[in-house]
A = this chain, B = another copy of it.
């Protein structure tokens, strides 16, 4: 010991930074290692995690689940009214919404606004006041999109007459659905429901959707992974930036649109609508992600996260090995850039099923591919790359189908391992839009949110129970 103290000290400090600062203050050489106790020190979560880490059944299950995800081949196959794709919607007055389950009285402003809009669109009521009364009356059922194979951005409302993209997984038998993107500004998904919004929805179901259906079918189905891979090489992250993918989709659909038999002025209007909306591909991206993740869902013991979704009140996740249970926590606020005239006080909490893209390794996970996204969600290109590198630490693997030029064409992170989120205290990062908290206004900005760690703690505790009976902590 005496000898030790006579030598120059070279200190490695693990964890609390202030210890390192004390050492540095007296002039010694100190290296700080970032570390925090798993689950932020939650002892029960730590015990649950200890059962799952290096557990062969979990490792095997995760390999199976990840393989199913990576092998999935999402193909854009059709556009049809929701009632023809989702049986429950043809049976009665049902509306689907984003995120985990939520009752009318608990919903955030933009979701209530979008439901009012959907009721007016379906002509179930004539005025917004009557629509709100009907929604509150119990005569309309509400269910998450995710319960019916669908995903919806922001409020994510799907009503029976709305057209949906249909994406089939040709490596399996599952299909996933998502609506047609309306554009930015005053749109239903951000809770706006004025005449302009409803008129656009009617045009979309009467003109856009049937023509798109013909154009999609004329292609024989559009393989989405190659198109998405190319878009990642063109600066998209396929959640908040779909500029390249929207152009590539339009190019792919164009011959079929021109030969659809629709009148030339309708084709011109459709081409203008798609060409004018750089987010047009978002919903296709979401359905593709849902189709790939559903292929990996339901693998016993797997800790792969298969959905992250928000309803503006709660944030919920699903995990492959825990079936259809939701693990929820209060929806976080979004740290972002606001449109002129708006600020954080106007914002609804985190909203929408679009975090399915991050769940599939895109969006915030693929930000390194999309440096220009920071002009929309804030930060610098270096932050964008750092986000992707940080997400690699909670991923099950990398996706050879989705490579990122800025990382030397390495695959992007893929497959959130709920264990790693807890073990490493790294929360999934999400690029997202920000809705006004009040119904009827619309989008007010875009930014970044972080999935609440509490969802992952709850999921890990439930998953641990599937491994070895009730989760009684070992005696200490």
| Interfacial residues, chain A to chain B (CB-CB below 8 A) | 230, 233-235, 243-244, 247-248, 250-252, 254-255, 258-259, 264, 267-268, 271-272, 275, 371-372, 380-382, 405-406, 408-409
Contacts and interface: CB of A to CB of B under 8 A. Distances in A.
B244 A258 contact: no
A151 to B, nearest CB: 26
A371 to B, nearest CB: 3
Given A234-B235, A247-B244, A259 B254 contact: no
B258 A275 contact: no
A258 B251 CA distance: 14
Contacts of A250: 247, 251
Contacts of A243: 230, 234
Nearest to A274: B251
Contacts of A267: 258
Given A371-B405, A405-B371, A258 B235 contact: no
Contact of A405 (B233, B258, B372): B372
A262 to B, nearest CB: 10
Given A258-B264, A264-B264, A381-B408, A251 B234 contact: no
Given A252-B275, A255-B275, 18 more contacts: A233-B235, A233-B371, A233-B372, A234-B234, A234-B243, A235-B244, A244-B247, A247-B247, A254-B271, A255-B268, A258-B264, A258-B267, A258-B271, A259-B264, A264-B264, A371-B406, A382-B408, A406-B406
A381 B371 CA distance: 14
Contact of A235 (B254, B259, B381, B405): B405
Contact of A272 (B255, B268, B381): B255
Contact of A251 (B252, B255, B275): B275
Given A247-B248, A381-B408, A406-B406, A254 B275 contact: yes
Q: Which of A252, A405, A409 has the most CB of B within 10 A?
A: A405
Q: Which of A254, A268, A272, A382 has the most CB of B within 10 A?
A: A254
A70 B388 CA distance: 36
Report the copy number of this chain in the oligomer.
Answer: 2
7 contacts: A234-B234, A234-B235, A251-B275, A252-B275, A255-B271, A264-B264, A381-B409
Contacts of A408: 380-382
A409 B382 CA distance: 11
Contacts of A233: 235, 371-372
Contacts of A382: 408
Contacts of A258: 264, 267-268, 271
A389 to B, nearest CB: 15
Q: Which of A247, A259, A268 has the most CB of B within 10 A?
A: A247
A372 B408 CA distance: 9
Contacts of A251: 247, 250, 275
Q: Report, nearest first, the 8 A-B pairs whose CB atoms are least far apart.
A: A371-B405, A247-B247, A251-B275, A233-B372, A258-B268, A234-B235, A234-B234, A254-B271
A254 to B, nearest CB: 5
Contact of A268 (B259, B271, B371): B259
A244 B234 contact: yes
A272 B268 CA distance: 16
A371 B258 CA distance: 34
A247 to B, nearest CB: 4
Contacts of A247: 244, 247-248, 250-251
A183 to B, nearest CB: 15
A65 B380 CA distance: 33
Contacts of A409: 381
Contacts of A380: 408
Contacts of A275: 251-252, 254-255
Contacts of A244: 234-235, 244, 247
A252 B274 CA distance: 11
A219 to B, nearest CB: 12
A155 to B, nearest CB: 28
Q: Which of A230, A234, A271, A408 has the most CB of B within 10 A?
A: A234
A360 B153 CA distance: 42
A402 to B, nearest CB: 13
A254 B271 CA distance: 7
